[in-house]
Structure 1
Amino acid sequence: MTKILWQNEIKHTLKNTNHPYLRGPWTPNFVELDACDMEVIGEIPHDIDGIYVRNTENPVHEPIGFYHPFDGDSMLHTMTFKDGTARYRNRFVRTKAFNAEQEAGESLWAGILNTPDMSKRSGWGEQGYNKDASSTDVVVHAGGLLSTFWQCGEGYRLDANTMDQQGALSWAPIDGISAHCKVDERTGELLFFNYSQHAPYYHYGVADKYNRLIHYTAIPLPGPRMPHDMAFTEHYSIHNDFPLFWDPELLKHGQRQLKFFQDMPSRFAIIPRYGDASEVRWFEAEATHVWHWMNAYEEGDEIILEGYYQGNPDPLPLAGYPPEAGKFLANIDSHSFQSKLHRWHFNLKTGAVKEYDLDDRYLEFGTFNQTYAGRKTRYGYSSILKPGWFLFSGIVKHDLETGQTWQMLYGDQRYGGEAPFIPRKNATSEDDGYLVTFVTDMKEDRSECILIDAMDVESGPICRIILPHRICSGTHAAWGDGPTIRQYDSNIW
């Protein structure tokens, strides 16, 4: 029987609604818990040691204007594994905005689908009036959890073991840091970027394994852009300038509307890890947009990059909804923007670019064995999303050498999330380990944490841990190695 060790309910004013991303699998919850001795279907492996963490968008107050699911407050959920046991914790991230709204008892900032004048206070991020919800991404760096916001914010740290709040990053630049900073597990470094409405519009930086800023440089762009992710190899970082960005003419009048300039190329900036603007090499490729990368690596004179190429970066609104709602729903539907796993080759010697699809299916949210980050990987794991929805319905394993794939679906009305790879202790191959994710089962009205044998994904979960409450769907997740995290228990900074 589940043992609840600690419980806390957050003040909230959210009302029942028909909004598709405030109900069903996206129903917010307001209770923070510590729990152990949960029901287990199967057996928790003894050969894993570490922490799985997922970031979720979980609003607590009635929204100002029209709600976008990416507006929600950050709630982190963790499952700590050690010696065949598991412990669950969840916490709201106490951002400055979250604390201010708790004190006010209402929303103070309008979401991304609304106009600046609707916010009651000045805000953060690329648009300047949004709430820094810190609810997009999460990584494990320097022994702690780091949550980040996709339109740039301060970045917030929590203790990886206790989930105690450690506050905003002390070194965050004035333009903040974007979601999708990267951790190089070989060096312990955090590679990050930000973007803004003012020149030079984009910066790149590195923090060391002790969470100290050691490098920061501009990568000038022609104007305001909307980048979302970056990649890295052993010696280089890879950044982008895609032809999907704010319409410059509307921006002059304070209006923000994304436009796809299909006659412009996609541009890729490759920079040495500690390089500056003078060392950037620019490459041009087919016009597209990419929300997320898989991995990148060096091979001979080439840098090879893998990610999710969009065949239709500016999709038409989904049918059956008012135009504004239909458009935002299409923009978060992988079947509308038609994202496929894709590979780019950039030749550093000749400047040539080659690119092609690796899979014909619409896929997104790739993961792989992070101990291979920046080096050549044979295996990757993509998410299958439900057509018309931002809901994860399954996983595809790719053999990137042979092209062979294997698939596992979560089941009817069961929705998972991004599934990080857990290396097995004393692993003997790249795919010797597990995939982990939280799954919400709408038929059973509950959530689970499932583990899948990465060498045999088609067999389904080997273990299902029943959570003490049903959680809200979310976006990104990460795995943190237990022994590495424990090296930082002394909080040496």
Structure 2
Amino acid sequence: MTATLVNTVETTIKPNEHPYMNGAWTPVHAEYDATDMQVIGDIPTDIAGVYVRNSENPVHDPIGKYHPFDGDAMLHMMRFRDGKAEYRNRFVRTDGFIAEADAGHALWAGIAENPKKSLRPGWGAQGALKDSSSTDVVIHAGKVLSTFYQCGEGYRLDPYTLEGLGKEGWVPADGISAHPKVDEATGEMLFFNYSKNAPFMHYGVVGADNELKHYIPVELPGPRLPHDMGFTENYSILGDFPLFWDPEGLKHGFHTSRFFPDMPSRFAIIPRFGDVSDIKWFEAAPTYMLHWMNAYEEGDEVVLDGYFQEEPYPKPLEGLPPGAGLMMAFLDEHSFKPKLHRWRFNLKTGETKEERLDDRILEFGSFNQKIAGRRGRYLYSTTTRPGWFLFTGVVKHDLDTGKSWSCDFGKGRFGSEAPFVPRLNAKTEDDGYLISFITDMVEDRSECVLLDAQHVEAGPVCRIILPHRISSGTHACWANDSDIENPGGHA
């Protein structure tokens, strides 16, 4: 292995027993470049592109209670070309990261703490948090974009070097939420934001040239907590779910989430460049959705797949310190019970139909982004360890036949969302690989693994050993070199 320690960021974190600052979630503060890494198996020669994963990786001792979503953004990247791979990891130098580096300590309290404890004004829908940009990552207009789940600036980086390129210039005053969607067919990126100020949500479109093309208000009854969105060839889909900040608590400055089971879930369907008057609202069974999968048009219907939570406000996990049980339950899929689900919205009749696609506890899925917005056949979900926010394997779904195949990462091995990597000159929708970084607590190391998407049950075809053990993480993306150099087929 040829590995260069590029930088070590100074940390003030003291030894502790926090479950999401130890074990597989132990933060790292070294930034590396690495090539010629140890490889178990063979690196495929039929892929060319970049895999990037975002991670919540705290630098400073927290102000009060720490929630894993408070951590600073660290991007981990693996580039593949001609059967070779190179690795890099870098912190995203957000405004909050730089301010705390200058101060030498944390300046903002996190989501589980009283926001009045923050030492400076903050960002996001809540208004007092640090915009850590540590939630999601996509590649749009040839550059990496990292985003924050409660809305923030949006930071751009070079996809091959992870060099910081500053904040997005087009981001509106209310910021951009995590989970903007890139339509690889057009190069356009669709996004939304939300806040505590009327109309409480906006929706927009950014072109393949990275210029803001469209931005409209989406009026909601009050402050909400949407997390994701979907799109088809012609429509965008937004959500209004009955899990949001308790209005009575907000009057007193408390951001306490509450589930309102007597309220329906609502979905807004908007033509991609539609106006406010074009929005159509659909009602569905009450739930909360973290992550949405593919959507497409079929006759008069818009069809959406995603993960329906059976217990959006779960019972606190037992045997934990006061206040910790509820936080741990909201991080435990086996507590809030997400199930793969399908919604059908009839644009002519206004009717909604729903069906369960799989009764297992699944979330954090992926699919071939080349068919995003168009009907596809395959979906890849993740499984988790009960009681923990740790990914233990993947499940491949054949949505046409109902069949599925699984791969378990192995004892003490925890991965992340596993994007689909198409083979060069792919012949079919599942002609490619799934990719993930693995934190191996048994071997005390981390790997990048590739699974053959047509044979996921066979396990990794390739395991690339990283220069250090990295913290567990969540969202990730893949982009082909050709899409980075020529996004959406545009010159």
TM-score greater than 0.5 by the shorter chain: yes
**Structure 2 CA distance, aligned partners of 1:295 and 1:253?**
39
**Structure 2 CA distance, aligned partners of 1:345 and 1:376?**
13
What is aligned with 2:409?
A: 410
Q: Answer yes or no: is the 8 Å Cα contact 2:5–2:30 preserved in 1.
A: no
Q: Secondary structure at the match of 2:124?
A: coil
What is aligned with 1:215?
A: 214
TM-score, normalisation: structure 2: 0.99
My pick for the range that moved more, 7-16 or 151-160, is 7-16
**Structure 2 CA distance, aligned partners of 1:367 and 1:28?**
25
Structure 2 counterpart of 1:202, one-letter code: M
Query: Is 2:241 the partner of 1:242?
Result: yes
**Structure 2 CA distance, aligned partners of 1:445 and 1:162?**
26
What is aligned with 1:441?
A: 440
Aligned-CA RMSD value = 0.9
What is aligned with 1:183?
A: 182
Structure 2 counterpart of 1:472, one-letter code: S
Q: Secondary structure at the match of 2:99?
A: helix
**Structure 2 CA distance, aligned partners of 1:4 and 1:175?**
41
**Structure 2 CA distance, aligned partners of 1:141 and 1:292?**
20
What is aligned with 1:334?
A: 333
Structure 2 counterpart of 1:349, one-letter code: K
Structure 1 counterpart of 2:368, one-letter code: N
Q: How far did 1:253 drift?
A: 1.1
Q: Answer yes or no: is the 8 Å Cα contact 1:219–1:276 preserved in 2.
A: no
Deviations 1:211-230 (A, max 9, x none): 11110000000000000000
Deviations 1:5-34 (A, max 9, x none): 452101111111100000000000000011
Q: Secondary structure at the match of 1:91?
A: strand
Structure 1 counterpart of 2:220, one-letter code: L
What is aligned with 1:206?
A: 205
**Structure 1 CA distance, aligned partners of 2:486 and 2:161?**
15
Deviations 1:129-160 (A, max 9, x none): 00000000000101111000000000000001
Q: How far did 1:169 drift?
A: 0.6
Displaced runs of 4+ in structure 1, greater than 4 A?
A: none
Q: How far did 1:352 drift?
A: 1.0
Deviations 1:383-426 (A, max 9, x none): 00111100000000000011000000000000000000000011
Q: Secondary structure at the match of 2:98?
A: helix
Deviations 1:102-148 (A, max 9, x none): 01110000000111210000000001000000000000101111000
Structure 2 counterpart of 1:438, one-letter code: F
Unaligned ranges ≥5, structure 1: none
Query: Is 2:157 the partner of 1:158?
Result: yes
Q: Answer yes or no: is the 8 Å Cα contact 1:342–1:356 preserved in 2.
A: yes
**Structure 1 CA distance, aligned partners of 2:396 and 2:228?**
22
Structure 2 counterpart of 1:261, one-letter code: F
TM-score, normalisation: structure 1: 0.98
Structure 2 counterpart of 1:278, one-letter code: S
**Structure 1 CA distance, aligned partners of 2:287 and 2:482?**
40
What is aligned with 1:19?
A: 18
**Structure 2 CA distance, aligned partners of 1:422 and 1:354?**
32
Q: Secondary structure at the match of 2:64?
A: coil
What is aligned with 2:308?
A: 309
Aligned length: 488
**Structure 2 CA distance, aligned partners of 1:3 and 1:487?**
31
Deviations 1:417-453 (A, max 9, x none): 0000000011110000000000011010000000000
Structure 1 counterpart of 2:251, one-letter code: K
Query: Is 2:139 the partner of 1:140?
Result: yes
Q: Answer yes or no: is the 8 Å Cα contact 1:5–1:36 preserved in 2.
A: no
Q: How far did 1:63 drift?
A: 0.3
Q: Secondary structure at the match of 1:34?
A: strand
